[in-house]
Structure formats: structure tokens, C-alpha cells
Amino acid sequence: MSIVRHNWTKEEILAIYNKPLMELLYEAATIHRENHDPNTVQVSTLLSIKTGGCPEDCGYCPQAARYHTDIEGNDLMSVQQVKAQALRAKSSGSSRVCMGAAWRNVKDGPEFDQVLEMVRTINKLDMEVCCTLGMVTENQAQRLAEAGLYAYNHNLDSSEEYYKEVISTRGFEDRLETIDNVRKTNVTVCSGGIIGMGEKVEDRAGMLVALSTLDPQPESTPINALVAVEGTPLEEEKPVSIWDMVRMVATTRIVLPETQVRLSAGRTQMTREGQAMCFFAGANSIFAGDKLLTTPNPDVNEDMEMFKLLGLNPQKPFIKKMQPVSVEAEDSQFQPLGEKPKWSRPNHTIDRNEEAKLKAKALK
């Protein structure tokens, strides 16, 4: 079995990324087989439970209120709506439901209580439940864990250096603090990033340094290819090549040997052959459904045809970790504290983000 290292350097990771492709693929596939079943891929469904109106300025995100995109916002979904979507996802082969809300951070109150009830409901359907809700405090993470949350997603997005070129409304350290708060519970960590935002290869390596030095390393790492949406600051970015995706997946697999590497946004731009290379290189999870929060995604029937063609089997839930037990709200040991944490607001501005904001104002 591969040794999990927490002392990778950027230079070492760059050397791996830049290896001759066949050598890189062979090394990644070997490590993948040592730690995972190469013919099993987890199918997850990503559900936007609250869409649009986010106060952040993430340059890639169509849900930011300050940009003019064609995203239709919606208030928080009901528990029954979420249950219906989860049952549909389960019937089509998903073993995990990931719920995303366009929030900067979790705030105690009726909406968070509603999300906790969604977590309990989906966990009782014998599905893994993941949430991505923005920054969370330790107490909020404990309440999610108690409700039966299996995983919490909080992406680092890019290297610490390039992060400042994409987002100005929160700091990189906030991401790390949230992950640390989740780590104080029994909830697993899902954290990865996006390539194709104009970053250098060195930034991709820098992100993997940050992820690999976490101890323990994330149980799950999504690798997203930017889907450039009109109206966002990154609308002009060209799609990353499949070779970049394959190299990034393979390098992630070598550096994070035990982690589930999630082939996430951008799959609509990949051929089946390209996706097969990513699976061979170590990706062992995909998101199914026609949308990834707000961006297009391959149809689930297409994915099942691809699985059949490649001889892949959907992963059953709770293979990596036991199913959590949901504690009912009335029996909860963790009560809302009404916290108002001071998450950082860096003072710098990003020119392209400001330009997109001004353009949006002119269109309103």
C-alpha cells in the first residue's frame, strides 16, 4: 500500500505532474489499484437547495448576487422537496446526495434547522449526505454531525497565492478553519478545487500541497474544470484540455492515495474516452444529474451507459466509513449558540471582479 505523506513540496508535485504521460498514468493507476477497486465509481447527486443571491465575489460563480447571469434564484427548498429529489437520485444509482446552499456562512436559525432536518431525512434513506453551506463554526459542525451528516464540502479552490486573484470577500485561512472545525467531529472532509481559472500549473501544485498537508488528508477531493458562465469575471476563460484534467487527476491520486478523487464540473466537455482516462488515472467518483448546482452536467442515463461500456459498478453507500446515526432535534446535545463569528473580509480588490460587477449594474 502507498504511504500517505503530509510533507509533499510544490517542486515534487510539479515533477509528478510534468512526467511523460504514460509514465504518469502507470504510476497513478498502480497507486489507485493499491488503495481502491478500479472498477467501482461512486455516483453522487448534487442538489442546489438554495440558489443565487450569494454575497461573495467568487470569480467563477454564477450564483454571486453582484454579477449578471441567467441563474434563476430560489429560496431554501422544503424537506419534502429534498426527500423527493433524494429518492429520485437513489433510484437512478446515486449513493450520496450533496446539498449546496448559496450562503457565505451558516447562520443559526430556522433555515439551518431546516437543513439539519434534510440531513436526518436523507440519512434515513440509507444514503450518504454531504453539505456545502459555506463557513461553519465548531458547534454548527457538531450539530450537522449529530443530524447524521456523512461529509462536509469546503473547497480550497486553488493555491493560497492564486486564491487572491479569484475571491476577495473571504480569506484562504477561513477555508482551513472551517475544515478544522469539521475535523473536530466525526464528519468526513470533502475539499478540492477548480482548474482552468487562469492559474499556472504551479498553482495547481500549490493547491495539492495545501490538501496533502492536511492531517488527515480529505476523504474526498473534487477536481472541477471551470465552466465559464457569461456574466462572471471568468467568462472569457478557455476550457481546459482533457490532458490537463487527466494530469491533474493522476497527480491528485498519487499525492492523495486514499482519497476519493471526484471528477466534477466540466464533464459535459469531455468525451467518454477522456473520462475513461480519468477513471484509469484514479478518479473514482462522479456527479450525476442534469445540473451541478447551476451548470450543465451529463444525463444520468448517459452515465449509466458509459459505466456499462467501461465495466464500472456504482459504489454502494458507507463503504469507506460506517453510516452515522441521526439524533432527532428534540434529543440534540448541541444547541444553537447564536454565534456571530468574524470571518475575514480581505481588503484587496480584483479588477476583473469589479468590472463584472459594474457591467451587471449597467444591465439592471
- The single residue of 54, 96, 170, 183 carrying the catalytic annotation is 54
Could you say which of 61, 120, 131, 183 is catalytic? 61
Of these residues, 58, 170, 175, 204, which one is catalytic?
58
Cα dihedral 343, 346, 350, 356 in deg (nearest 10): 40
User: Considering 96, 190, 204, 278, which one is annotated as catalytic?
Assistant: 190
**Which one of 96, 120, 130, 183 is the catalytic residue?**
130
Candidates 98, 120, 170, 267; catalytic one: 98
Is 278 catalytic? The answer is no
98 is catalytic: yes
Classify strands 40-50 and 151-153 as parallel, antiparallel or unpaired: unpaired
2, three cell numbers: 502507498
CA distance 152 to 150: 7
User: C-alpha dihedral over 210, 211, 217, 223, to 10 degrees?
Assistant: 180
Helical segments of 195-342, H only: 201-212, 242-255, 272-281, 300-310
190 as an active site residue: the answer is yes
> Would you give the distance in Å from CA 163 to the centre of its chain?
16
Q: What is the helix (H) or strand (E) element at residue 40, kind and residue range?
A: strand 40-50
Q: Is 130 a catalytic residue?
A: yes
Q: Would you call 54 a catalytic residue per the annotation?
A: yes
Looking only at Cα atoms, what is the longest distance across the chain? 58
Catalytic residue among 96, 262, 267, 278: 262
Catalytic positions, please? 54, 58, 61, 98, 130, 190, 262
